[in-house]
């Protein structure tokens, strides 16, 4: 498994955990908006439903490869789930 979402954009650890939590929240909202059930998505992307539940509910860390599988299923960019505040990026 690739690394968990840590130190994205040079953030400190607590900020990185907040970002990881927001990614999971965004994934859940996207699933709800598209009518995709957690168990169905788990099976479609090759996960055991229990493991996927633990992943999506924050009981196990979500890695980059996990997010990539989800994005591949929905045929969207990971940018949809990654909350980036561009106002803090220097010119």
Question: How many CB atoms lie under 10 A from the CB of residue 44?
Answer: 12
C-alpha 63/C-alpha 48 separation (Å) is: 16
Task: Give this prediction's pTM.
Answer: 0.74
Q: What's the confidence (pLDDT) of residue 1?
A: 38
For residues 37 and 83, the model is more confident at: 37
Q: In this predicted model, what pLDDT tens digit does every residue of 14-49 receive, in sequence order?
A: 666 677 788 898 999 999 999 999 999 999 999 999
Sign for the pseudo-dihedral over CA of 41, 80, 77, 35: positive
């Amino acid at each position: 498994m690739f690394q968990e979402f840590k130190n994205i954009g040079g953030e400190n650890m607590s900020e990185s955990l907040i970002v990881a939590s927001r990614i999971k929240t965004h994934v859940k909202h996207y699933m709800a908006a598209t009518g995709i059930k957690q168990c169905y998505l788990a099976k479609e992307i090759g996960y055991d439903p229990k493991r996927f539940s633990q992943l999506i509910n924050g009981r196990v860390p979500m890695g980059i490869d996990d997010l990539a599988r989800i994005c591949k299923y929905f045929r969207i960019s990971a940018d949809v789930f990654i909350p980036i505040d561009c106002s803090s990026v220097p010119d």
